[in-house]
Amino acid sequence: MVSENKQSSFAIWISLISNIILTTVKLAVGLIFQSPVLIADGVHNAGDVVATGAALSSMRVSKLPPDEDHPYGHGKAEVIGAGIVAIILGMAAIYMGYHSVMVLFEPPHKATVIAFVAALFSFILKQILYVYTMAIGKKLNSNGLIATAYDHLADVYASIAAVIGIGLGMIGDHYQIALLSYGDPIAGIIVAYFVLRLAIHMGKSSVGVLMEKSVDSEKIKALINIVNHVSGVKRIDRIRGRDHGHYIIVDVRVSVPAELSVQEGHDISRDIKQSIMDQHPDVEEVLIHINPWYEEN
């Protein structure tokens, strides 16, 4: 657990530091050379700094052990953090889109090589961060890290659009093609669309977990298969699973022979819980209810 905490903390701190650096670089270059897409992307990265801070705080809270007020743990803190990231991404997308549309009604700004290099650097760095953070997030089943990875992916989209937009603007400036000179703000509009889509997807996922949405059907089928192979189980009356952040809670109702003793029923419950948790490390708790089963059933 210590190693996992170190991995998640390292990934989130790298993301935070990278976002601070990119925010500074993009806003400085964008303002100096009047690049609309870089300014919009820099504001987006400023939002990323807040979002990453929220993810870091929520991940720390989610690792706290259960207490009297939170007997099932604090896992959903990560989901709340992911929801905050989604809201910030949505606001950034709306700002980027609005800013880019307004620029279309102004004389085209001259695209520069420095702005192009800044966008290219952002693309390369964010692609590396996305792949790394997503791999760690999936490995640790961390909603906070996965949300941060999607945040990096939104930046990848933004940086690609910036590279293409600024590149087209440079071509337009060189060959006096007026339409290409607006490549920068047009790219900003396109990236705003993709970032908004990503924000909606993340928001839906967070709301689903907070509303106790069931785990996917394949997971339920796997759990049913495990319980059916436990000796003494005659019937599964109900089985449910819900995501609780970086872990899952499973509820099971099974019928066992009515003539068994309390101790024997307890042993079956223990075997069910142990079998599920051994085969599914992401399951943190298994709640089991025993019903009597009669031969005539």
pLDDT category at 4 given cuts 50, 70, 90 is low
Listed in order, strand segments (DSSP E) in 133-282 are 235-243, 248-257
- Report pLDDT for 37: 65
Residue 155 amino acid letter: D
Record the tokens describing residue 114, joined without a space. Answer: 């420095």
Within 10 angstroms of residue 188's Cβ, the number of other Cβ atoms is 29
Order of strands, sheet of 248-257, starting from the edge strand that comes earlier in the sequence: 235-243, 248-257, 283-293
Mean pLDDT: which of 12-21, 139-148, 166-175, 205-214 is highest? Answer: 12-21
Higher local confidence (pLDDT), 269 or 59: 269
Mean pLDDT: which of 49-58, 105-114, 120-129 is highest? Answer: 120-129
Q: Give the residue ranges of DSSP H helices in 141-176.
A: 143-175
Assessment of whether the complete model's pTM goes beyond 0.85: no
How far is it, in rounded angstroms, from Cα 117 to Cα 247? Answer: 41
Answer whether residue 1 shows pLDDT above 60: no
Mean pLDDT of 181-192: 77
How far is it, in rounded angstroms, from Cα 12 to Cα 144? Answer: 9
pLDDT category at 2 given cuts 50, 70, 90 is very low
Please count the CA atoms within 13 angstroms of the CA of 50 that sit on its side-chain side.
14
Q: Say if strands 235-243 and 248-257 run parallel, antiparallel, or are unpaired.
A: antiparallel
Number of H helices, E strands in the chain: 8, 3
Mean pLDDT: which of 15-19, 243-247, 271-275 is highest? Answer: 271-275
Record the tokens describing residue 36, joined without a space. Answer: 């609309």
